[in-house]
Structure formats: C-alpha cells, structure tokens
Amino acid sequence: MEVTQVLLNAQSIDGAVRKNAEESLKQFQEQNLPGFLLVLSGELVNEEKPVETRKLAGLILKNALDAKDQQRKVELVQRWLLLDGNAKSQIKAGLLKTLTSPVSDARSTASQVIAKVAGIELPHKQWPELIGSLLSNVHQLPAHAKQATLETLGYLCEEVSPDVIDQDQVNKILTAVVQGMSSSEVNIDVRLAATRALYNALGFAQANFSNDMERDYLMRVVCEATQSPDVRIRQAAFECLVSISSTYYEKLAPYIQDIFNITAKAVREDEEPVALQAVEFWSSICDEEIDILEEYGGDFTGDSNIPCFYFIKQAILALVPMLLETLLKQEEDQDQDEGAWNIAMAGGTCLGLVARTVGDDIVPLVVPFIEENISKPDWRQREAATYAFGSILEGPSPEKLIPLVNVALTFMLTALTKDPNSHVKDTTAWTLGRIFEFLHGSAVDTPIITQANCQQIITVLLQSMKDTPNVAEKACGALYFLAQGYEEVGPSSPLTPFFQEIVQSLLTVTHREDARESRLRTAAYETLNEVVRCSTEETAPLVLQLVPVITMELHNTLEGQNLSSDEKEKQSELQGLLCGCLQVIIQKLGSSESTKYAFMQYADQIMGLFLKVFACRSATVHEEAMLAIGALAYATGPDFAKYMPEFYKYLEMGLQNFEEYQVCAVTVGVVGDICRALEEKIVPYCDGIMTQLLKNLSSNQLHRSVKPPMFSCFGDIALAVGEYFEKYLMWAMSALQSAAELSTHTAGDDELIEYINTLRNGILEAYSGIFQGFKNSPKTQLLIPYAPHILQFLDGIYMEKDMDDVVMKTAIGVLGDLADTLGSHAASLIQQSVSSKDFLNECLSSEDLMIKESAEWAKLAITRAISV
Amino acid sequence: MADDSPASHRRDPIKSSVGNVAAQRRRQKAVTVGKERRESLFRAKRLCRVGATGDGDVSVEENDMITDEEGFLLDAQTSSAVGELKSAVASQGKGAMQKRVNALRELRRLLSKSEFPPVEAALKAGAIPLLVQCLSFGSPDEQLLEAAWCLTNIAAGKPEETKALLPALPLLIAHLGEKSSLPVAEQCAWALGNVAGEGEELRNVLLSQGALPPLARMMLPNKGSTVRTAAWALSNLIKGPDPKAATELIKVDGVLDAILRHLRKADEELATEVAWVVVYLSALSNFATGVLVKSDVLQLLVERLATSNSLQLLIPVLRSLGNLVAGDSHTTSTVLVPGHEITDGVIKVLVKCLKSDHRVLKKEASWVLSNIAAGSIEHKQLIYSSEAVPLLLRLLSTAPFDIRREVAYVLGNLCVAPTAGEGKPSLIEEHLVSLVQRGCLSGFIDLVRSADIEAARLGLQFTELVLRGMPNGDGPKLVEQEDGIDAMERYQFHENEDLRNMANGLVDKYFGEDYGVDE
C-alpha cells in the first residue's frame, strides 16, 4: 500500500475517495497492527513526505494509543503493551527522530505521540531511557528541536502521574525546563514551550518546592517570565502562578508581596488573557483560604496540615480597589451572551470570593465605591456599583449588611423599573435575588421584607418579567429566592395573596415568543416549581388547579410529528421542564392525605402522558419524566402496580443507560421509590431489575457515582420483597462483599474519601435492607454465613476512623439489624467484634441525635441477641 | 492537548442564571426525599421487633458476575496478571506477602469474571507452577484461599485444562486437613471436586493420593457450606465405575451418621448434596447399599420426599430410594413390608411424584414402583389398590416414551405373580382383567410398535398375557381391536431373533388358520 497517497485521500474533499481511503487504513490496521503503526511512524519521520500526511499519520498513531472512552482506552493500552517489541522500538526511534524535524507540525505531532507512549509504558517500567535520551543533548540542539523536546516533556508530565518518575529524573526535567525559560535563552518559541512545560511539570516538583533554594529559583524564573515581551509567555507564566497558588499555597508567603505587584500591574495594564489569569490567581487563593477556614471553623489550632496565611486579609486594602476598577470594564452585550467571560466578570467573581474569605472587612471598602457610582449618568458606573453590591452579599454578617440593604432596596426596585439601561436592570434584578438568597428567610432575625414592602417587591418583579429576556430571567431568579425564603414560614405565607397572580405571570412568561433566550423559560418553570414547593395549605386548591393546566401543556408537546432534530431537542427540553413541574406538584399534593386524594383523579392521565413522553425517544429515557414517575409512585402507593407492565421497559432502559449516568442514577432511585410503593408487588419485576443492577455493577464503564445508590437499591428491593430476595442473595452479597473490601480503606484526597463514604453508606443500606427484609422469615439462617464478613467490614471502617456521620449512623444501624435478625446465632460473633463495644460506645455518646438513637436501638438488639 | 495553550483557568461567573442551579437542586431534593423515605422505613421496621428464628446454615458461594468484556482483553489482562504473580512470587521481604495476595486476587477476579474464564490464557502464561508455589505449607490463609480459588476456576475448564492441575493435587489434598482453616479447606475441596468431576482417570489419581478420607471427614461437622462442598466433591469422587471408592467412603468412621444427620436436619441445599452422595453409594456399592438399608436412611428419604418441593432435592432423594429398593432385596423383603407404616409412606410419596409436573420425577417414581411391584403378591396388591394405578394408566397413554416404558414395567409386574424357576409367569387374573378393562392394552400395543427393543419386548410380553389370560378367550379379540395383529406382524422379518420368534409365535398361536372360523 502506498500510504502517502492513502493518507492524502483520507483528507480529500471528495467523500467517496475519503471513505475508501479510511476503509483501507482500517483494513491495514486490522490485518497487521505492528506493520501499520510502523508505516505510520515511518511516514511521520520522513522529511520527503508532505506535511499533511505526516500530521495525519501521527494523529492516527496517537489515536491508536488513547481514546476518550475508558473501556476503549484500556483495550488500546493492552494492545500496545502486547505489541511486538521490535516494532515498538522502531516506532519509538522514529518518533524521537521526528523531534528534530525542521517541520514544526511534524515535531509537534511527534511530541504528543511520544507522551502517549510514555503514558502507557512508564508506569510499566518500560522505556526507562526515554527521559534520559530527551534530555541528553538538549543544550546542543538547534532551537526548533529544543522547543520540540521541551514541548514533549510538557506533554509527558501531563500524561504520566508523578509517582512513576523518580526524583532524579524530575530534577533533570525541571532543570531543562527552567533553563529553557530563563532570559539566557534567546529563542522565543523555546521559552514559550518551556513555560508551558513547567505548567505541567509543577505537579512533579513537590520535593523542589520544599527546598528553599530551589523554590526561590523556580519562583524567580516564573515571575521573570510574567514580564516577557511575548504575550503568550506572560499568559503561560501567570497560568503557572495560578497552578502554584493551589498546589503550593503554604509555600507562598515569601513571594506574595511581589506577586501582588506583578498581578496588579497585569490586571491594570496587560492584555485581557493575561489580566484574566492575574485575577484568577487571587480567586484561587480565595478558594484555598475558604477551604481551610471552613475546615477548621476559623480558629486554626496549629496542628493541622495547612495553616491559613490570611493572604487575602493582608492584601485586601490594595486588592479590593484593584478589583473594583475592573468592574468598570464591562462589554456592551455581555448579558445576552451566555458564554461571555471578561475582566469585569472575573473581577466581580473574585470580589465575591474575597467577601466570602474576609467577611465584614470588605464592606467599608466597597460601600464608598457603590455610593460614588450608583447614580452616575454613565451606565457603566451604575452597573459596576450594583454589581459590586451584589457580589459582596455572601460572606459579611447580616448585621453588617441589613442596614445597607434596607437603604438600597427601594433604590433597587426603582432602578429595576426605571433605569434606561438593560445591563443595569439585569444586574439590579440579580442583586435583588442575591439579597433574598442570603438575607431573607427564617434564619435571618430582622426581616427585610415586610408587610409594607412585600406587595411592591412582587409587583416590580412581576412587571420585570415582561422586560427583555435577560432581565426577565433575573427577575424570575429573584422571585425564586423570595419564595424559598418563605419555605418554613408556617401555616400562612405572605405570598398567599399573590399566589394566583405569580403563577399566572410565570405561565405567561413560559409562553413568551422569546422564552428560549437567556434560558428564560427554564427560569420561569423552576421559579414556578419553587413557588409551589414552598406554598402552604392555604393555596393547595390553587396548586391542584395547576395539574390540568400543566398536563395539557405536556399533552401539547406530543402533538408534533416528523420533527427535525432541532425541533426534537426543543420538544424534549420543554417536556423536561413540564415533567419537572409535575414532579414538584405531585410531591406537594402527595404529601398530605387530603390533597393526595384530590390529586388521584389525574393519576392515570398523567402516567399515560409520561409513558408517551418516553415513547417520543427511541433509545434513551427522559430523566425528568423518570423523576416525576418516582413522585407519582409514592403518591399512588400499591396501586402503581397497574402501570408497571407498560412502564417496566422504560425502567429497564433507564437502568441500561450507562452513557448518561445521571439517567441511570435517577432510574435507580426510582426503582427504590417503586419498591416502597409496591412492596411485594414488585416481585415479578425483580429478576429483570436485579439482573440489570448486577450487570451494571460488574461493568467498568459505569460512572462510579451510580454505584452507591445501586447498592442502596438492593436494600430497597430486599426490604420490599422480604425472603423472596433469597434467589438474589448470593450474588448480591458477593457484589456487596467485594465492594466492602474495596471501601474499607480509604487512601486519597478528600474527594475520594467522600466518595468512599457514600459507597460505604450504600453498602450498609443494602445490608440493613436485607436484614430487615429477612427478619421474621424462616429463612434468616441464610444470612448467618455472611455475618462474619459484615462484622469485619463494620470493624474495618471503624478502625479507619474516617467515616462521616451519615456512615456512622447507617453502620451502627446495620449492627443492630444484624443482631436483631440473627439473634443468638450471631451472639458470639457480635461479642468478638470491636464494633459491638468501642464503636457502639462511641455512637452512644455521640452528639448527633440520629446516631445516638440508632446506637441505643442497636444496643438493645445486641443485649437481646446475647442474652438468649 | 493539541491546543495552542494549556487549558486556561476559567471559572463560573458569580452572576449566573437561576435555571442552572435550580433544576439541580430540585433533582437533588427528589433524591433526598427518596432517601428520607428509606430512612423512615428502616426506622419503622426497627421498632417492631420480633425474635429471630431458624437454625442451621448455608454456604457462601463466591460467585462471579456477568460481564460482556471481550475475550481478547480478558486474555491480555490474564497474561499480565500471571506476570504480576510471577514477580510477586519472586519478590522477598516486607510487603511481599501482600503483593502475592493482591496478584492472586487479581488473577482470581479475572478467572471469575466471565462465563468463559480465560483459563487457556492463564495456563499459557504459566499460572500452575506459580499457584502450586503459593499453596506451599505455612503460607497465610488468604494466599492459600486465593490460590485454591484460582485453581478451582481453572479446573472448571476443558478436560485438558483440568488435567493441568495434576501438580497441584497433592497440596490441595494436604490443605483439606484439620489443621487448615475452614475456608481454605472448603476452597480446596471445591477445586478437587472439579477435578474429580472430569473423569475416571483423574478420580483414580485423586483416590490414590488419598483425597477421600479427609473429604469424608469434612462431612462430619455441622458447618453448612463446608459439608455441602465436601459432599459435592465426594459425590464426584466416588462416581466409579469402580465401586471401591464408594465402599471405602461408607466405611469411614462417622460418615453414615453424618449422612443420616444431614438428611434429617440440614436445609434443602445441603440435603441435596448429601442425597447425591447416597445416590452414588447405593448405585455402585452393594456393601454400601447393604449398610444404608439397615439404617434409618429410607425413612429419612421418604420424609424428605414428603416434605420438600425442591426439584433439585427430590431427584437425588428419589433416585437413592430407587437404588436402595432395586439394589438390595432386603429393602423390599424386610423393610418395605406391606402393613408397615413406612411402606405406606413410600407409596404415598411416589404417588406425589407421579402427580408432579416434572418428567424426571414421574419417570424415577415409576421406576421405583416397578421395583416394588416386582416383589411379593402383597406388594402388588398394595400398589394395585393405591392411588397410583389411575395415575399410571393415564401416564401410559399420555406421557413421553421414557416414562411410558417405566410405567409399563409397573403395570406388567402387577399382573404377574412371583415365580420360582423358569417358564411362563403365572397370572394375577384380577389385576389383568381390571387393568385391561381400564384401557391399558392400547398403551402396551403402542410399545410393541416401538423401535426400542426392551419396550417392544415388554409390549409383546403383556400382549401374551392378554391373549393367554383374559377369561372366555376374549384376549385375541381385544388384541385385534387394538390393531395388535398388525403391530406383531411387523416382526415377521425382524432382525432381533428373540422378538421375531416371540411375535411370530403369538400370531401363529392365536391368529392362525383357525382364527375367526367360529364366528
């Protein structure tokens, strides 16, 4: 095969030629993979070949090593590892040689492929000479080859994890990179490549950042690079600083003053991409300090991992004015552009983070800016002032903010109706929303909304819903938080008199021609949902009246036929909103006996519509419809059985939906709802459901977040069907056992520990459900063989000392369930376990009432089991 | 990654649309509601507490789950897992043990993953010597367990793959001993059971290496899963055809007691495995059969048949009963004596099986009945007057062939008296007349037409009884009415001499030249 021609053909504009070429490439690959890859690397290295075929050859090579899809990726990695060693060395030699090519595209492609190969081989201790050979003569190389080598090192650091490269090699990489960045390097491209490589290599530099001299040197080089004449280098250097701010926060103290000066200058004077990174540095510092302060409740005791250095607090006098300046640099139409991101938005966002970090201290620094600008003729000043106000509403104490809000509220309401500028109105409505979000509700002592101003607020907000879509959307948002603040208001809500009017206005908004702009329709429906959710008994008849209205809307979406894909998407989106709305309504009406009874007249009709919504799609399941059905199942109880024959296939479809794991997770939740509704009537469907659950659990494609609810779902099913669960017991227990083994120990970051705890909770809920399901059945003995392992699991997680309160409560509950269900059969096992003593005592003295209650019950159950 | 710059930091703006978060919150709330309901259900259930019941226990079967992972990938992973194991076995010092266990566990996981475990890949990569090494004495339990588990799954493969376990057998047997922890012993028993199930050759190897006594001793305690696995392995090991192993087994101290105890008390799963042991004992070894019939085992089998509805259990129990009835005349002559309670019990459970929906049960029950019906006059009368006869008659006309044949033996046996010595059996006219009147003849004539020699012989023998024994010389007419002449004439030139002579003889004798002249 003449590969060059085929590769050219593969990029032909003629579809047939292209297809043909792709086909023969595929065939070649299937017939002789090593040969194929070898030919591709030969093409890439060959200086006589056209640049486009070299690039494509490299790209195909890269795609043969990595894929987005996890399963596919594993396959590719295995395939490469098993490939003939000779072919591999030849390919690798070709790739390394390409790095010296005068053609920049060829070099860059080769860099990426080398990194992919390294990503596979280095963890397997293969290609140990790679880094050495890249670095061996980096000083003598011509500039273009040096640039390619540095780029390769950068990609390599992105691909492999720090633990597979030993410190000696890390040092060499960093040395080469830092030399490439230094001012002694005359070539701009080399310096850029080096700076970008450093960005990826920072994660490898733990040891170097712990050494004062090395750290000083690294920091100096980075700071120097922020002053480069080349904008790309300056941006890359600031990106390095951002990364350092989160990775090495605790090492920053000696440099923070210099960094402030550098960033301040960049924010004020540099081009926007650079300025944005300079702001980002401070946002990132805020993130760190907020995390630290949250974790230690503000009073740092000295014995924890990372102390708070209060960089923000110290810099605030200079930092806040700098950020306020950025607010005046708005773009004209940024409110209509959902993807907009500019220096003003970044500055306001950072200001909000600063407010959360320092609290009250920010107020006196911002108020003068607001007062000075809020009434200026230039809309930019009015908007910036409003934006500043809105940004600092989270963080400072209500005592500090409420006096300000009381003064500002009337002004804001006027601005929202009268200001000539839409941008100002948009920000004003958003600020009102923030006021209601953080300063209105049962948690706040002094109400800012009173009988005196309530009517005016609602009138203004409803009026603004007729404004341009972006303003109307923000007005909906404000109403959303207004309603939320009355969630726990008691039997009578101040919103009751306006309920009908609010609902009517929101429905009108959903019908606006331009409702799809600025996500207005979504905001309107979600606001309607919140108004319904937070409503009281007084307005229940009105909520009931909404049922036929929303049902009719949903019915209307089913009318269209032969829709284009765009129309289909719109239809599906609207159906989602309406199903979401019905979900909230069903939940609301189902929560009290009187309204539930009245609602039931609509149940058949609604379920029929949900099924039709499912039928609109061929292969996927509508997530919102699924959620709504969960609510319906709860409301209808055992009667839901009549819908099952028709609904079951969609349930199964949802469980099978790996790709959209949220859909899968939601469906698993709905299975739980249905179990609770149907109880033993779920039996005919259990085989299918359990098969699917076990299949899902054994798949390595499934998103990990779905696993815990799946385990809980075992518990739901066992609880519903009781001893009938016997037929699944062995498999379920085996799945639980292997998951339990994996989740006994946690090692990793907070996120992983949090996940492991949800996983533990799912496993424990399954055990509880199974024990309780078998209780009082003649088959409890079937569970005895599993008891040792379950107790071992409880002991294991207790010993790890890292479970959260939720797990603690569930775990002690399982201990009680085990004792209660197995009784004397488990007595000696229980007595041997640590859980029954130390863990139980710890729970008994817990301050958490739920844990205490569970523990007391477990103690009772154990006492009984042992005494018999 | 091919972008011009590394991914720039970009965060969500503080000023965002309410729709973004609201929908998320609403969904979370829906999930929370579900959780709260589960919680309240748990709590409600915990409040109403009633004592736990039940005794005995049941095995933990570690099982695999289904995946549709491609074989290719699985093979590749398996080879690399064996590679890992190799390096783990070679490594020394701190952490080496954990490394070995991890490597074993990974291999075991791969071997347990699919319905078609990558056994070939594992063998090719050299797994067996490594696994044998992991079984060395003094290894930690976890390691032994994982290694034995791997071997169990390898042994479940094709015949030559099972044979690959040969070097591992001595150690697997060694770990069955009392010194081993129960899970280890059980896992080794499982592996050996798989090996024994493969065939006679491997069974003989195992027996010569002394696998039987320790497995037999594992049956003695009341530990459910261990006994079950051991019983299953034993039933594979004594499958014969040489009866020696079965005889050896019943001679092991305590085994008979254990069998009786488990049959009396154990749950159905365990009883099933134990019943299979009884099946092979009674099928192969006259000695064992003799020992068994003198014990309570018949009574226990009858009780199980009466009380269980598990097909898995009923089959081996029924077959054991049949073996004991057929294998030792002592059973029918001194245990199942008409008038004894147990005899009525047996007939009752057999009737229950005849009524069942399962073909195997019907067939086995008919077989047992035919053996009892071959006994004394009193046995025949007992069956004749039981609920079994109408059921048998119906089965003879409607059931599948294999059941009909067994049923025909019962009905045939009911019509002939026990004989001493050669010659044509003498008739029990009362039974014959009544059964023929109730329409059984056509069923037997059908058998005459069958290609199965034994069934055809049975059909002819019964036809002979009818021709000879029906009062008033009604026989020939009845046979003619059921197209019996035609059925017999097919044998005119049949290759089986015995049948040919029998059929031709009957036709000549009863339908010769004189036939029909009287009318």
pLDDT in tens, B435-460: 888 888 888 888 888 777 788 888 88
Determine, for residues A81 and B76 on separate chains, whether the beta-carbon distance falls below 8 Å: yes
DSSP designation for A777:
S
Chain A contact probe: residue of B11, B18, B49, B58 with most A CBs at under 10 A: B18
Chain B contact probe: residue of A108, A160, A734 with most B CBs at under 10 A: A734
Report CA dihedral (A319, A324, A330, A334) to the nearest 10 degrees: 80
Nearest CA in chain A to B59: A785
Determine the distance in angstroms separating the CA of A446 from the nearest CA of chain B, rounded to an integer. Answer: 25
Whether residue B10 has pLDDT greater than 80: no
Whether residue A520 has pLDDT greater than 90: yes
Please compute, for residue A617, the number of CA atoms within 13 A of its CA located in the half-sphere on the CB side.
Answer: 21
Neighbour tally for B450: CB within 10 Å: 17
Of A332 and A273, the structure prediction assigns the larger pLDDT to A273
Mean pLDDT, range A147-159, rounded to an integer: 94
Inter-residue long-range contacts of B254-257, CB under 8 Å, 24+ positions, other chains counted: B254/B217, B254/B220, B255/B216, B255/B219, B255/B220, B256/B291, B256/B292, B256/B295
Determine, for residues B54 and A772 on separate chains, whether the beta-carbon distance falls below 8 Å: no
**Range from A422-436, B129-143, B169-183 that averages highest in pLDDT:** A422-436
Question: 3-state DSSP call for residue B173?
Answer: helix
Determine, for residues A78 and B45 on separate chains, whether the beta-carbon distance falls below 8 Å: no
Give the nearest partner residue to B41 out of A115, A676, A824, using CB atoms.
Answer: A676
C-alpha B444/C-alpha A638 separation (Å) is 55
Percent of chain A with pLDDT over 90: 71
Determine the distance in angstroms separating the CA of A523 from the nearest CA of chain B, rounded to an integer. Answer: 5
Mean pLDDT of chain A: 91
Chain B contact probe: residue of A768, A828, A859 with most B CBs at under 10 A: A768
C-alpha A856/C-alpha A238 separation (Å) is 56
Determine, for residues A283 and B55 on separate chains, whether the beta-carbon distance falls below 8 Å: no
Chain A contact probe: residue of B4, B42, B59, B112 with most A CBs at under 10 A: B42
The per-residue pLDDT for range A731-778, each reduced to its tens digit, is 899 889 989 988 888 777 778 888 999 999 999 999 999 999 998 788
Determine the distance in angstroms separating the CA of A853 from the nearest CA of chain B, rounded to an integer. Answer: 10
Determine, for residues B14 and A734 on separate chains, whether the beta-carbon distance falls below 8 Å: no
**Range from B8-17, B61-70, B97-106 that averages highest in pLDDT:** B97-106
Displacement of CA A675 from its chain's centroid (Å): 29
Question: Count of CB contacts below 8 A, A vs B?
Answer: 213
Please tell me the predicted confidence (pLDDT) of residue A184.
Answer: 84
Q: Which residues of B touch A477 (CB under 8 A)?
A: 17-18
The per-residue pLDDT for range A810-834, each reduced to its tens digit, is 999 999 999 989 988 888 889 888 8
pLDDT band of residue B57 (cuts 50, 70, 90) is: very low
Cα–Cα–Cα angle for B74, B75, B78, rounded to 5 degrees = 85
pLDDT band of residue B504 (cuts 50, 70, 90) is: confident
Determine, for residues B19 and A239 on separate chains, whether the beta-carbon distance falls below 8 Å: no
- Taking Cα atoms as reference points, which of B220, B215, B271, B283 lies closest to residue B247? B283
Give the nearest partner residue to A196 out of B6, B18, B52, using CB atoms.
Answer: B6
Torsional sign, CA A54, A55, A59, A62: positive
Residue spans of beta strands (DSSP E) within B323-457: none
At A331, list the tokens.
């773009």
C-alpha A253/C-alpha A265 separation (Å) is 20
Give the nearest partner residue to B34 out of A630, A719, A861, using CB atoms.
Answer: A630
Determine, for residues A672 and B26 on separate chains, whether the beta-carbon distance falls below 8 Å: no
Whether residue B63 has pLDDT greater than 50: no
Determine, for residues A527 and B66 on separate chains, whether the beta-carbon distance falls below 8 Å: no
Whether residue B337 has pLDDT greater than 80: no
- Taking Cα atoms as reference points, which of A500, A420, A406, A507 lies closest to residue A457? A406
First to last CA, chain A: 82
Determine, for residues A734 and B65 on separate chains, whether the beta-carbon distance falls below 8 Å: yes
**B91 with B51: CB under 8 angstroms?**
no
Whether residue B290 has pLDDT greater than 90: no
Please tell me the predicted confidence (pLDDT) of residue A675.
Answer: 95
Helices marked H in A64-182: 70-82, 85-98, 104-121, 130-135, 143-159, 167-181
Residue A304 burial by CB count (10 A; 0-12/13-18/19+): exposed, middle or buried? Answer: exposed
- What's the helix, strand, coil split of chain B in %, to 5? 70, 0, 30
The per-residue pLDDT for range A547-606, each reduced to its tens digit, is 999 999 999 998 877 788 888 888 888 999 999 999 999 999 998 888 888 999 999 999
Determine, for residues B1 and A112 on separate chains, whether the beta-carbon distance falls below 8 Å: yes
- Taking Cα atoms as reference points, which of B244, B166, B152, B154 lies closest to residue B201? B166
One-letter amino acid for residue A105 of the chain: D
Whether residue A298 has pLDDT greater than 60: no
The per-residue pLDDT for range A463-481, each reduced to its tens digit, is 999 999 999 999 999 999 9
Determine, for residues B8 and A817 on separate chains, whether the beta-carbon distance falls below 8 Å: no
- Taking Cα atoms as reference points, which of A651, A654, A697 lies closest to residue A674? A651
Please tell me the predicted confidence (pLDDT) of residue B519.
Answer: 47
Give the nearest partner residue to A698 out of B18, B26, B65, using CB atoms.
Answer: B65
Q: Cα-atom radius of gyration of chain A, to the nearest Å?
A: 32
Percent of chain A with pLDDT over 70: 98
pLDDT band of residue B294 (cuts 50, 70, 90) is: confident
Please tell me the predicted confidence (pLDDT) of residue B518.
Answer: 54
Q: Which residues of B touch A672 (CB under 8 A)?
A: 34, 38
DSSP designation for A205:
-
Nearest CA in chain A to B7: A239
Determine, for residues B42 and A772 on separate chains, whether the beta-carbon distance falls below 8 Å: yes
Determine, for residues A816 and B30 on separate chains, whether the beta-carbon distance falls below 8 Å: no
Give the nearest partner residue to A584 out of B10, B26, B76, using CB atoms.
Answer: B26
Mean pLDDT, range A511-517, rounded to an integer: 92
Q: Which residues of B touch A625 (CB under 8 A)?
A: none
C-alpha A681/C-alpha A721 separation (Å) is 8
The per-residue pLDDT for range A358-383, each reduced to its tens digit, is 999 999 999 999 999 999 999 999 99
Please tell me the predicted confidence (pLDDT) of residue A377.
Answer: 95
C-alpha B209/C-alpha A858 separation (Å) is 51
At A517, list the tokens.
């702009």
Phi, psi dihedral angles at A14 (to 5 degrees): -80, 115
Chain A contact probe: residue of B14, B45, B70 with most A CBs at under 10 A: B14
At A150, list the tokens.
């540095």
Q: Which residues of A touch B77 (CB under 8 A)?
A: 78
Determine, for residues B9 and A239 on separate chains, whether the beta-carbon distance falls below 8 Å: yes
Determine the distance in angstroms separating the CA of B34 from the nearest CA of chain A, rounded to an integer. Answer: 6
Residue B488 burial by CB count (10 A; 0-12/13-18/19+): exposed, middle or buried? Answer: buried
Residue length of chain B: 519
One-letter amino acid for residue A769 of the chain: G
Of B58 and B166, the structure prediction assigns the larger pLDDT to B166
Q: How far is CA A312 from CA A258, A289, A346, A361, B13, in A?
A: 14, 8, 16, 11, 20
pLDDT band of residue B499 (cuts 50, 70, 90) is: confident
Question: 3-state DSSP call for residue B374?
Answer: coil
Please tell me the predicted confidence (pLDDT) of residue A541.
Answer: 93
Give the nearest partner residue to A112 out of B2, B34, B73, using CB atoms.
Answer: B2
The per-residue pLDDT for range A46-99, each reduced to its tens digit, is 999 999 999 999 999 999 999 887 778 888 999 999 999 999 999 999 999 999
Whole-model pTM: value is: 0.64
The per-residue pLDDT for range B389-408, each reduced to its tens digit, is 888 888 888 877 778 888 88
At B416, list the tokens.
């002939």
C-alpha B411/C-alpha A30 separation (Å) is 67
Please tell me the predicted confidence (pLDDT) of residue B421.
Answer: 57
Torsional sign, CA A715, A721, A725, A731: negative
Which positions ≥6 away from B124 have C-beta within 8 Å? Answer: B79
- Taking Cα atoms as reference points, which of A536, A484, A710, A751 lies closest to residue B29? A484
Determine, for residues B49 and A236 on separate chains, whether the beta-carbon distance falls below 8 Å: no
Determine, for residues B30 and A235 on separate chains, whether the beta-carbon distance falls below 8 Å: no
Displacement of CA B179 from its chain's centroid (Å): 31
Chain A contact probe: residue of B12, B16, B21, B26 with most A CBs at under 10 A: B26
At A140, list the tokens.
């003598």
**A345 with B15: CB under 8 angstroms?**
yes
C-alpha A801/C-alpha A795 separation (Å) is 10
Q: How far is CA B407 from CA A1, B400, B413, in A?
A: 73, 11, 10
Mean pLDDT, range A284-288, rounded to an integer: 96
Please tell me the predicted confidence (pLDDT) of residue B423.
Answer: 61
One-letter amino acid for residue A239 of the chain: E
**A342 with A272: CB under 8 angstroms?**
yes
Whether residue B3 has pLDDT greater than 50: no
Cα–Cα–Cα angle for A107, A112, A117, rounded to 5 degrees = 120
Determine the distance in angstroms separating the CA of B120 from the nearest CA of chain A, rounded to an integer. Answer: 17
